[in-house]
Amino acid sequence: MVLTIEEIMDFSITHFNSIFDNATDKVSKFESWAQMEKALYHLASQDRAGKKDATLISPAVYKYNSTRSNDNVVEWSRWCAVDVDDHEFKGDIKSELVSKFGHYTFCCYSTASSKSDAPKFRLCFPLTSKVGSSKIKHFWFSLNQELGKLADAQTKDLSRMYYIPGRYANANNFIFSNTGNFVDPHALMVKHEYTEKP
């Protein structure tokens, strides 16, 4: 398979050992979305007791030798994630997501609190470009509008962390992917106007 220039540009993940970890020096880089997606699938195959047994990841890139805070975010790498906790599905999750958002490439994985009757999951999207810190709030708003306000509105801060995928005990665990177009941050921000609240 031949990868396009879009697919082989740099993707990076900043890792945190726990919600209390604020060091920003643990970073993994991937040459392509396929490589990053493979890493997510590997994590999803690992048995975990619960959240306390898991690390966290973020698309945020931080100032050199800084700590985790919104003020220290330089940009988001070429991916983003949204949490979905309260959406009521009328059928198969994968079928519904592909039906609604199948024009986008994404990786969907369950969270530790996911249950069969109340699925909770994370959608990770590759981007056509990085998003500078001054544009992140507008981009996140635009993405959530594009997704029909599917995402948890509380998960929009610049330095947001996400628990890694895993085979969590007593949870409804799943992971699947879809192949489409990468999300274009600029196009979404043009499409969805945003006025930041004072």
Please, what is the Cα angle at 126 between 124 and 127, to 5 degrees?
A: 130
Cβ pair 58, 160 in contact under 8 A: yes
Tell me what the mean pLDDT of segment 54-58 comes to: 96
Q: How far apart, in whole angstroms, are the C-alpha atoms of residue 45 and residue 66?
A: 32
Cβ pair 48, 121 in contact under 8 A: no
pLDDT of 40 higher than 60: yes
**Amino acid, single-letter form, for residue 149:** K
pLDDT tens-digit readout, 105-117: 999 999 999 998 8
Look at residue 86 in the predicted model and tell me its pLDDT. Answer: 77
